[in-house]
Structure 1
Amino acid sequence: MTTARKTTTVFLTVLCGLLSSIMGLTQRWPLWTWLTLGVLLVVVPAAAMWIAARRRGPVPVSFEENITAAPIERTACQVSQVALPSLWDDYDFVFSATVRWYLVESPGAVPVLNPAGLAAETVLNRARAITEKREPGQSSLVQHELSGALSRMFPDPAGQLQAMAENISLTLLPQDQERLDRLAGVRKDKAVWEHQRTYEQSKRQYLGEDVLKDTGSAVVWWLAKNDEHVEKTVADLGLLAQLTSAANDTEVPERLQKLVFQHDPDEPPAGEPTEAATEHRTAADHIKDFFDSMGLPDEDPRRAMLARQISDLVKEQNRYETAEDLLRRFDPPADAPPESPLV
């Protein structure tokens, strides 16, 4: 019987005795009744305690027996600056953490003389299995992944201890991080260059295969660019013929040569062309006439830009001399002396 039950039994016995005494005095009980009541007040509580003791057992439970198991003793060690492989060769993560463990009793197992080393090995093997599948540029993300994966106790292969890690740090060597930053910059520049190159190729293809395919296509394009001003387009037919011939590195068709000569200020306004006028004109001469008719002065940077695009078109037709002539004429190197145009 517990102490609480004993206290309750004594309290109820005393209370019953007081109530019986009050009733006996008021009712004037005889002497034998008082003797019987006294015997019952002693025998009944004793019998109740004896019965309760028999049900619990003869041996009392001590305080030590109430302790179910010995407390688990956890210990810790620090792992610092350990290189772990990444998905890329020669780019290692640098791992640091606090390793915690506790020994597991295993009957018949060999005692662990260096549990700190075994716990560190267990944690590092778990971390390595993750890092070797991750790219080095994701060190911050992998650090959080390791914090979650290593936060739970996990047994070593022999089952002699349970280990985990906390306060995890995962970085790269400074020189490796610098290399990754440079590679990222190069990839970004390459992507921009490829987009620009694709745009220029598309523009050249549009000019060469559509706009400047022949004089008729150039006339339609010029008509649309000049808000359907027919008069201006008709006046520029000679220039368009020269531009189309230069882009395709061909002579101006015979039926359009008269229009070309009409736009040459050095030629007479009418009549047959002179011997000087019928001399061979280069693609650069035709392009110059076109730029002049467009109102683009010599110092206008748009002349060089358009000349480069036309030069690229000509190169695609394997006419490299004509392309180089256009660049020398309209887009010479910065340190090259100015070249007098041939007219």
Structure 2
Amino acid sequence: MGLVRTGCPAPRCPSADHKDRRHPPSVPTPELTPYLPPIPVERREEQISHVSLPSAWEDYDFLFSATVRWCPTGKPAEEPIVNPAGLAVEAVLKRARAITKDREPGWASFVQHELSGALSRMQPEPTGHLQAMAEAITLTLSEHDQERLSSLASVRKDKAVWEHQRKYEQSKREYLGDDVLKDTGSAVVWWLAKNDDQVHKAVEDLGLLAQLTSAANDTDVPERLLHLLSPPNAEDAETEEADSLGTAGQPLGQTGSTADHFDTFLQGMGLDADDVRRGILTRQIAEILVTQGRNETAEELLRRFDAPTTPFNDDFDMDSATGDSSGP
């Protein structure tokens, strides 16, 4: 029967283990490199504010503000680009101007969104070395221009309302003049259409409608319709006749006597025929007339308004009033 080998490893030599502990494996030493600062990140955006861009109206400019961004295309340049921001801004403004020059200033808010879409894509600038775009875009008008546009809008709206009213009135006049009041028959038919349940009233107003149509056409009432006109009121006729005459019964425009005018004066003063003040005032006026040498007029006034039997009473002396002491 032979010996059986087990799986245990054979014992190592103690001298070999001692040798491994005295000489550990060597580790490479890292080489020392000098410290270099980080490369600065290239700034590729530029803020622009309130740049004037033309509109479709002269002297009404948009005010454009945005953040312009760019990136190089990698195309080799014969000369170094000193100011890439300037090229990018120029390219963006050129693209924006091509849009705003055909837009009305009153649409500033709408054009702002249009520019936001048109300038949101990177596109090469004319030299081909950069691509540029814009974001955070605002488009406004100056305060004074906005006030002027609001005033113009108000005027246009008022004018439109006025034009509408004028055309409505013109149409209404044409309807009344050319259709309703063309003649008495048309006026009667129109009246019946408006008041179809008042036939008797229409018959009563035939004369009025005839007068109305004649006045609308600047013509006389036809002879066949004259009998429809109502005769003038007797009281109105008397009033018109009295107005055409003066207070003394004389037509206006004709001169009456002094006594007639004096009678009008007394009535205007509120002195009736039975008022004693009429005589007192008449005698005072007569005395004044005598001093002016108007004896006949004074006698006429006294005869008519003071003492009908005698031209003067005992208290009034014509000679003393005139200053003549010689008797007849």
Shorter-chain TM band: 0.5 to 0.7
- Tell me the residue number matched to 1:236: 205
Q: Of the candidates 130, 143, 146, which is equivalent to residue 115 of structure 2?
A: 146
Q: Of the candidates 147, 152, 161, which is equivalent to residue 178 of structure 1?
A: 147
Q: Of the candidates 116, 137, 159, which is equivalent to residue 168 of structure 1?
A: 137
For the residue of structure 2 that corresponds to 1:261, the secondary structure is: coil
**Structure-1 separation of matches of 2:150 and 2:83:** 41
CA contact (8 A) 1:102 1:162 kept: yes
- Tell me the residue number matched to 1:226: 195
Q: Of the candidates 182, 199, 203, which is equivalent to residue 168 of structure 2?
A: 199
**Structure-1 separation of matches of 2:135 and 2:65:** 9
CA drift of 1:109 comes to 2.7
**Structure-2 separation of matches of 1:175 and 1:182:** 11
Q: Higher helix proportion, which one?
A: 1
Residues 230-289 of structure 1 show CA distances to partners (whole Å, capped at 9, x for unaligned) of: 211111000000100110110011111121134x43499xxxx9xx99xxxxxxxxxxxx
**Residue 96 of structure 1 aligns to which amino acid in structure 2?**
S
- Tell me the residue number matched to 1:114: 83
CA contact (8 A) 1:74 1:102 kept: no
Q: Of the candidates 244, 265, 272, which is equivalent to residue 233 of structure 2?
A: 265
**Structure-1 separation of matches of 2:55 and 2:5:** 98
**Residue 253 of structure 1 aligns to which amino acid in structure 2?**
P
Matched, 1:211 2:180: yes
**Structure-2 separation of matches of 1:174 and 1:108:** 45
Q: Of the candidates 39, 54, 57, which is equivalent to residue 85 of structure 1?
A: 54
Superposition TM-score, scaled by structure 1 size = 0.56
**Residue 265 of structure 1 aligns to which amino acid in structure 2?**
N
For the residue of structure 2 that corresponds to 1:116, the secondary structure is: helix
> Which protein has the larger Cα radius of gyration, Structure 1 or Structure 2?
2
CA drift of 1:113 comes to 0.7
**Structure-1 separation of matches of 2:192 and 2:89:** 80
**Residue 56 of structure 2 aligns to which amino acid in structure 1?**
L
CA drift of 1:73 comes to 4.7
**Residue 225 of structure 1 aligns to which amino acid in structure 2?**
K
CA drift of 1:208 comes to 0.3
CA contact (8 A) 2:77 2:129 kept: no
Structure 1 portions without partners, runs of 5+: 1-23, 29-69, 278-343
For the residue of structure 1 that corresponds to 2:45, the secondary structure is: strand
- Tell me the residue number matched to 2:72: 103
CA drift of 1:228 comes to 3.5
- Tell me the residue number matched to 2:310: none
Q: Of the candidates 149, 152, 159, which is equivalent to residue 190 of structure 1?
A: 159
**Structure-1 separation of matches of 2:44 and 2:103:** 30
**Structure-1 separation of matches of 2:234 and 2:224:** 21
Matches within 5 A, 1:18-57: none
Structure 2 portions without partners, runs of 5+: 8-38, 242-328
CA drift of 1:183 comes to 1.1
- Tell me the residue number matched to 1:317: none
Q: What is the percentage of aligned positions where both structures have the same residue?
A: 68
Matches within 5 A, 1:278-289: none
CA contact (8 A) 1:77 1:100 kept: yes
Q: 1:25 to 1:117 in 2, by over 3 A?
A: farther
**Residue 261 of structure 1 aligns to which amino acid in structure 2?**
S
CA contact (8 A) 1:73 1:102 kept: no
- Tell me the residue number matched to 2:101: 132
Q: Once superposed, which parts of structure 1, at least 4 consecutive aligned residues long, lie more than 4 Å away? A: none
**Residue 131 of structure 1 aligns to which amino acid in structure 2?**
T
**Structure-2 separation of matches of 1:200 and 1:219:** 22
For the residue of structure 1 that corresponds to 2:135, the secondary structure is: strand
Residues 110-157 of structure 1 show CA distances to partners (whole Å, capped at 9, x for unaligned) of: 211111111110110010011111111110011111111111111111
**RMSD of equivalent CA atoms:** 2.7
